[in-house]
Amino acid sequence: MVRIFDFVGAVGLFGLRVIASAFRIPFEFEQIWRHIGETGLRSLALVVSSGLALGVVMTLHTRGALVMFGATAMIPKLQSLGFFVEIGPLVAALLVAGRVGAGNGAVLADMRATEQIDAIEALSMDSFKFLVVPRVVACVIALPLLTTFMDFCGITGGYLSEYSISHISLHLYLTRAFQGMEWSNFVPPTLKALVFGFIIGTISCFFGYTTNEGAEGVGRAATSSVVVSSLLIILADVMLVKIIFLVFPGSAA
Amino acid sequence: MSGEDSIRLDHVSKSFGEKQVLDDVSFSVACGEAICVLGRSGTGKSVTLKLVLALLKPDAGHIWIGEDEITQLEGHELSRVRRRMGFLFQSGALFDSLTLHDNLALPLHRLTKKSRDEIEEIIDRVLGQVELAGDKQKMPHELSGGMQKRAGLARALVFEPDILLVDEPSSGLDRITASEIDDLLLDQKVRRRSAMIIVTHDLHGARRLGDRFVVLDKGRLVGFGTPQELENHENQTVRRLVGGIRCGRIMSALGSSS
């Protein structure tokens, strides 16, 4: 139990240090841009293909139930609400946790094991600001963008699936999908994606940066990054949904 | 602290958990002097170097770099003092995602206001010194062990430090390549009058480079002096390490039978 509190405290302090360092000059724009490329662009194919596939599958599942009630016209709306509010942010975050979280954890742990982090400090540079902060900031920026891609790919997948069955026009599908949609359906989940990005960046960098156990530590850092950040994303999702319903009552409708 | 001393360790102790790695260690290094730290594996030699560079904090004691007590410094002040020191890591510790050129350019770009041309000039000069001028676009994994050591030394020299900390310069290298690295270090010592702390197991190299030896055993300083002074030291470990005396049951048996 004490170890759990130790861990929570250490991660909390690490996260606070990230926030404090992110607002201190130099701002490391070059590194942030590079990591947005690593985090965002290289995850794009994974997010797009997953979004399309999920869109198709979700429509296939919901169609069967809605046909029984004669409510097939609700399919586009269900699809868009499902993706914008929950599936998009959550699945994009879990995919990025698997791909980027493991990468950050392994790369930083390897740099620690091979004394590269010590070498950065020996050269009078702030290794935390140079290695950790840009990775976390890149995750925070990239995840809402990837979530948006996931949302639109999910709707596109849903449309393709629905078109193959009912030959619905794109115009009609989109009209039904976005009918009655409000900013409260779109903004809070995007903010949720920011929090998920922070969790992925902070947890993966924490395990990578603080390990000091050689080759075995590299593997453990990668695994722990994925497991803990995925778990925290799901737990945070529960709390954030409650908070969103409190702050944006319209989104609960 | 003596005005001549570049580095001074004053009653320094360090432990990791239950294990005491350094216990009340004191010694000093003058400008232009090379101190070789000898000792069996796990006696705190590399930890000593990391303490001098403030990569680790001592549990007790003080470490002076010139007039600065490095254990008390943080932020820009620590950065200023560290820039006086170059560190050659045992593995070279080159940044494996950057070319050799970028490994050297990174600290210069980030920490100085030098122009691009000036930085290129420095890189060409230090790579020339370590005979790697033709390899600057290579990635670290394309370099041999000896080349990585030389590249690590080149990176340690970009700020023209007046203190060099060297961790196992000859480990994993053949005698000829190790001797070339020793030549480069000797050149720094003579030409730039750099103060050096060299952690090594290579007695041949240590005798070429070191003015004085520090001998550590189980975290304690058991011998400090010139090689000649230590050859007849009362402590057996010191005599064995400095004299290069081979011993153990097999060597004793061979000795008695011959």
Tokens in use for A116? 């590269």
Helical (H) or strand (E) element with A247: helix A214-247
Residue A133 in domain: yes
Instruction: Work out how many domains chain B is built from and give that number.
Output: 1
Residue A105 in domain: yes
Which residues in chain A are closer than 8 Å to B112, comparing Cβ atoms? none
Asked if B87 and A116 come within 8 Å (Cβ–Cβ), the reply is no
Instruction: Work out how many domains chain A is built from and give that number.
Output: 1
3 state DSSP class of A150: helix
Spatial distance between the Cα atoms of B77 and B71, rounded to a whole number of angstroms: 11
Residue A19 in domain: no
Residue of B nearest to A30 (CA): B110
Residue B166 in domain: yes
Amino acid B1: pLDDT: 47
Q: Which long-range contacts (CB under 8 A, 24 or more apart) does A230-234 make?
A: A230/A94, A230/A97, A230/A98, A230/A101, A232/A199, A232/A203, A233/A90, A233/A93, A233/A94, A233/A97, A233/A196, A233/A199, A233/A200, A234/A90
Q: Which of A116, A121, A126 sits opposite B95 (nearest CB)?
A: A116
Mean pLDDT on B215-238 = 84
Residue B140 in domain: no
Residue A151 in domain: yes
Query: With an 8 Å Cβ cutoff, is A123 touching chain B?
Result: yes
Residue B62 in domain: yes
Q: pLDDT band for position B255 (50/70/90)?
A: low
Burial (CB < 10 A; 0-12, 13-18, 19+), residue B17, is exposed
Residue A62 in domain: yes
Residue B51 in domain: yes
Amino acid B254: pLDDT: 52
Q: Pick from A186-200, B163-177, B234-248 the range whose average pLDDT is largest.
A: A186-200
Q: pLDDT band for position B258 (50/70/90)?
A: very low
Residue A192 in domain: yes
Residue of B nearest to A124 (CA): B79
Model pLDDT for residues B107-139, shown as the tens digit of each residue:
998 888 888 999 999 999 889 888 888 888 999
Arithmetic mean of pLDDT over chain B: 85
Q: Are A104 and A210 in contact (CB under 8 A)?
A: no
Full residue range of the structural domain in which residue A161 is found: 47-252
Q: Which of B85, B89, B159 sits opposite A119 (nearest CB)?
A: B89
ipTM above 0.95, yes or no: no
3 state DSSP class of B7: strand
Asked if A115 and B79 come within 8 Å (Cβ–Cβ), the reply is no
Least confident of A135-144, A230-239, B223-232, B246-255: B246-255
Model pLDDT for residues B63-121, shown as the tens digit of each residue:
999 889 998 888 888 988 998 899 999 888 899 889 999 999 999 988 888 889 999 99
Residue type, B122: I
- Calculate ∠ Cα B198-B199-B201, nearest 5°: 125
Which residues in chain A are closer than 8 Å to B100, comparing Cβ atoms? none
Tokens in use for B163? 């203190």
Asked if B93 and A123 come within 8 Å (Cβ–Cβ), the reply is no
Which residues in chain B are closer than 8 Å to A123, comparing Cβ atoms? 82, 106-107, 111, 155
pLDDT at B231 over 50: yes
Tokens in use for A245? 């319903």
B46 to chain A, minimum CA–CA distance in Å?
A: 12
pLDDT at B256 over 60: no
Full residue range of the structural domain in which residue B241 is found: 5-94+160-257
pLDDT in 10s for each residue of chain A, 253 residues: 778 888 889 989 999 999 998 888 888 888 899 899 888 888 899 999 999 999 999 888 888 888 888 777 888 888 888 888 889 999 999 999 998 888 999 999 999 998 899 999 999 888 999 999 999 999 999 999 999 999 999 999 999 988 888 888 889 888 888 887 777 778 888 889 999 999 999 999 999 998 877 778 888 888 999 999 999 999 999 998 888 888 877 665 5
Residue A47: name the closest of A106, A93, A104 by CA: A93
Amino acid A24: pLDDT: 84
Residue A11 in domain: no
Amino acid A117: pLDDT: 92
Model pLDDT for residues B42-52, shown as the tens digit of each residue:
888 889 999 99
Asked if A121 and B55 come within 8 Å (Cβ–Cβ), the reply is yes
Residue B124 in domain: no
A118 to chain B, minimum CA–CA distance in Å?
A: 7
Residue A41 in domain: no
Q: Are B185 and B206 in contact (CB under 8 A)?
A: no
Spatial distance between the Cα atoms of B15 and B126, rounded to a whole number of angstroms: 37
Residue B225: name the closest of B1, B16, B36 by CA: B36
Query: What is the CATH classification number for the domain harbouring B247?
Result: 3.40.50.300
